[in-house]
Amino acid sequence: MQLKQPNKTRINFQDIQWGELDYDGSSKVLFNNKLFSGYVVYDRYDNNNIMNEIEYKNGSHLGWENEYNIQGQLTYSCLTVGETPLEVYKYDDNGVLTNHWKTVGDAYYQEMARKYNLD
């Protein structure tokens, strides 16, 4: 399995708690009663490989939403700020990039990347 950003912490959805609302009206994600930064794994395949995960920073939905195939290969990745997608990558089952686009203008993209330290 080749995870996107393998150095970042990953926890399972069952292990999170919900906190107060953030800037876009979504509940913040807590882990051990602290704002969580890293990936929340929402689903796994029967072989325990990750199916999909969402990145959070300081409890807020900021960063990458990733989907993997059953073999653990990244097939979809979307950079988001809250519910707003900024950039989308699609890959085939072998990990070859098949499509890429930005959903916002470059000035807004750069502003969000700087403001929220997106990587």
The model's pTM:
0.93
Q: How far is CA 46 from the centre of its chain?
A: 21
- Residues of the chain with pLDDT > 90, as a percent, come to 91
- Which pLDDT band holds residue 1 (cuts at 50, 70, 90)? low
Of 19-23, 82-86, 88-92, least confident by mean pLDDT is 19-23
Q: Alpha-carbon distance 69 to 71, whole Å? A: 5
Q: Alpha-carbon distance 34 to 43, whole Å? A: 22
Residue 22: per-residue pLDDT: 85
DSSP-derived 3-state class of residue 86? strand
Residue 119: per-residue pLDDT: 85
Q: Yes or no: say if 24 and 86 are a contact pair by the CB < 8 Å rule.
A: no
DSSP-derived 3-state class of residue 76? strand
Tens of pLDDT, residues 29-85: 999 999 999 999 999 999 999 999 999 999 999 999 999 999 999 999 999 999 899
- Which pLDDT band holds residue 25 (cuts at 50, 70, 90)? confident
DSSP-derived 3-state class of residue 55? strand
Q: Alpha-carbon distance 97 to 3, whole Å? A: 15
